[in-house]
Amino acid sequence: MNYTQQRAWQRWGVTGTLLLLACCAGCDKPAGPGVDDATASDSHSREFSGEPPLSIVCTTQQVADAVRNIVGEHAEIESLMGPGVDPHMFRTKPSHLLKLQQADIVFYNGLHLEGRIADSLEQLADRKPVVPLTGRLVEEHDKRLISPAGFSGVHDPHVWHDVSLWADCVDYAAERLCEFDPARADDYRANAAAYRKQLDELNAEVGAQLRSIPDDRRLLVTAHDAFGYFSAAYGLKTIGLKGISTDDEADFAHLDAVRKILVENQVPAVFVESSTSPRLVNKLIEECQAAGHQVRVGKELYSDAMGSAGSGAETYVGMIRANVAAIVNGLAGE
C-alpha cells in the first residue's frame, strides 16, 4: 500500500472520531491545514488562562516523558499510548477523545507517526494548542531528517532514536510551553536546561558504547525500519524487515535479500521489537539456519514505545540505555 492509499484509509477510519470531536466541542469549525505542517495551528498566540496544574495529553510515552521533564509539578500529564503500543496502528476510543478534548494543551510526535489519529489532532488544533515536537525540524527543513525511499515528501518519524535530535525536539516543546504558560516559564526553562544537560551526557555515553562494536559487525537488523536515525547518528548500518511503518506489507524478496546479507557477513544477531510482531524475524532466522548460518534473537528492542513500569525502560533515558546494551551485547555475539 503506497502512502496516498494509506492516508485515504486512515481518513475513512476516523470519520466517527471527527464527528465525536465536533460534538464534544459544541461548535462547527472548518478544519485547518494538516497538523504535521509545523505552522498549521494558531496556538502560538494562545495563553493558558486557568489555574495550575495544567492538564496535558501526549500521544506517545516518549513525548509524555519529555514534557514531564519540562513541566515538573506544574502539570498533570497523560499518555494516550502505553507500553508496547504501536503508534502506527493506534486508533482512538471515545475515552481518548474525551481526554484530548479536556486537555489544556496536546503534544504529539508528528511526521505522521500517529497517522491513524492525524485527522483527530487536526480537528482539535482549531480549538486548542496542539504541538508536534518535531515542529521546528519541519519548519527549518532540518537536514538531519531522513526521507526513506518510496516515501517521497514524507520523513521518517522515529527521531527519538537520535538523542541529540530528540534533545532539540525537547527544547522546542519547552519553548511552546513557555509561550502557552508564561507565568511559569522560568521554571520550564530551568527544567528544560537541566534535562538537556542529561540528554547531552546520554548522547556522549551512547556514542562511546557503540564504538565498541567491531566494524564488521555494525549491522542492525530489526523487525521494521525504526532505527534509521539511530544508525545515522552513531555510525551503524540498519535494515528493517518492513519499512518505516509497521503498517507496511511484508516483502519476501526483501527478506531473502536480508538473509543473504546475514549469511555472507556472519551477522550474529537480529532483533525483535516490543511493539511489533516477531513473525518476520523468526522466519528470517529459520531461513538463515537452513542456509547453514546460526543467527540468534538479540534482546528485545524498544522501537516505538517505552517499557512498562519496573522494566528499566519506562523513561526515555532508560529506554535508550536498554536498547544500546541489547545492541552492543547482541552484535558482539555475547
Quick one: which of 321, 326, 314 has its CA closest to 163?
Answer: 321
Q: Which residue has the cell 492509499?
A: 5
Q: Considering only residues 195 and 238, tell me which one the structure prediction assigns the higher pLDDT.
A: 195
Cα separation of 249 and 170, whole Å?
Answer: 32
Q: Give me the mean pLDDT over the 86-101 stretch.
A: 92
For the cut 80, the answer to whether the pLDDT of residue 276 exceeds it is no
Q: In the prediction, which pLDDT does 297 show? A: 86
- Pure H helices in the chain: 3-13, 15-25, 61-71, 94-102, 118-124, 135-139, 163-180, 185-210, 228-234, 252-265, 279-290, 316-331
Q: State the chain's mean pLDDT as an integer.
A: 84
Q: How confident is the model at residue 203 (pLDDT cuts 50, 70, 90)?
A: very high
Q: In the prediction, which pLDDT does 215 show? A: 92
| Tens-place pLDDT, residues 249-268 | 556 788 888 889 988 988 89
For the cut 90, the answer to whether the pLDDT of residue 162 exceeds it is yes
Q: How confident is the model at residue 68 (pLDDT cuts 50, 70, 90)?
A: very high
Cβ atoms of 220 and 331 within 8 Å: the answer is yes
Q: How confident is the model at residue 36 (pLDDT cuts 50, 70, 90)?
A: low
pTM: 0.83
Q: Where are the domains of the chain?
A: 7-41+49-205, 207-331
Task: Decide: helix, strand or coil at residue 30.
Answer: coil
Q: In the prediction, which pLDDT does 31 show? A: 34
Highest mean pLDDT among 81-85, 92-96, 192-196 belongs to 192-196
Other C-beta atoms closer than 10 Å to the C-beta of 250 total 11
Among the residue ranges 24-28, 116-120, 304-308, the one predicted with the least confidence is: 24-28
Q: Considering only residues 205 and 270, tell me which one the structure prediction assigns the higher pLDDT.
A: 205
CATH of domain 207-331: 3.40.50.1980
Percent of the chain surpassing pLDDT 90 = 58
| Residue range 7-41+49-205 in CATH 3.40.50.300 | no
Q: Confirm whether 7-41+49-205 and 207-331 share one CATH topology.
A: yes
Q: Give me the mean pLDDT over the 30-52 stretch.
A: 58
